[in-house]
Amino acid sequence: MTVESLRADIVEVGRRMYARGYTASNDGNISVRVGDNRLLMTPKSVCKGFMTPDMMCVTDLAGKKIQGDRDPSSEMLMHLEVYRQRPDVNAVVHAHPPTATGFAVAGIPLDRAVLAEVLTTLGSIPLAEYATPSTAELPDAVRKYIKAHDGMLLANHGALTVGGDLFSAYYKMETIEHFAKISLVARMLGGENLISREEVMRLQELRGTYGIKAPAPICLDSDVPVAPGQSAQVVVTADDATCQTVQAPAGTGSRLVPDLIDAHRRASGEGRQVAGDETEIRLTSRELSALIEDAIKNLR
């Protein structure tokens, strides 16, 4: 593709992100490879819904501006790190899709085996630890997961997706937000039915049939005993993730399994331990409404 057509494609992707509410104001950034040592990147301080092709900057892989009237994105360091770690990647998209970012703010990765389409394409969507935007901390946080994943959440920040071309990277951003919305609704309705470990591995085998080239395999630790209905997560001990960790129940004999742990916690009123001494309490909409009504009565 020509540089001119890539400029136009960046404008179109930016327009779609803004129209879908994935960005607000000047949020988000996009970049594309245009040669062995050249990147085309969105500029600083521009609303992604109102860009023009001439606004784009050309930089080298060290971040030096080669061409353009404007300065490149303040998140350039994150983009550069992706290209350094993934020679197969030709485009990077960063946005703040609201539901997915809500999961990132809550500290919850999208790594449960819930949707077959997500398992076969993205595998899992991990949560990179919090890093100050526009600093060297952010590429450090992304580095841990980028070799094994094409999409991730950024703690209290947003989401990042990559692809072999610009629209591939953008569509993965759509997938992440779509997945987050479905996961949220399922949890509000009482809990998710999880795809079993055996079915997850079957879906992984179908990746080749679908022509999907994943950066890393899905990993499930079969050596760890797991009770029926229990959700098992692989512990990645290396500094960098080498596989796509997915939470999936094992030993159930069924392809779909209710999340019995969450159901038990909701029934018993138990919370999930989080950072420090804090506890996360999960309530259904009905339980929350009852608590609010009771609080109003007590105020009277």
Q: Which of 4, 75, 177, 278 is catalytic?
A: 75
Q: 151 — phi, psi (to 5°)?
A: -155, 145
Rounded distance, CA 66 to CA 76, Å?
14
Cα separation, 57 vs 43, in Å, equals: 6
192 is catalytic: no
Supply the DSSP symbol for 229. Answer: T
Helix (H) / strand (E) element for 140: namely helix 137-146
The residue ranges of DSSP E strands in the chain, in sequence order, are: 29-35, 38-41, 57-59, 65-67, 91-95, 127-128, 151-154, 158-163, 193-195, 218-219, 231-232, 244-245, 248-249, 256-258, 272-273, 279-280
Nearest to 65 by CA among 87, 90, 44, 92: 44
Torsion sign (Cα): 13, 179, 26, 87: negative
Q: Which tokens go with 49?
A: 């819904």
Residues forming the active site: 75
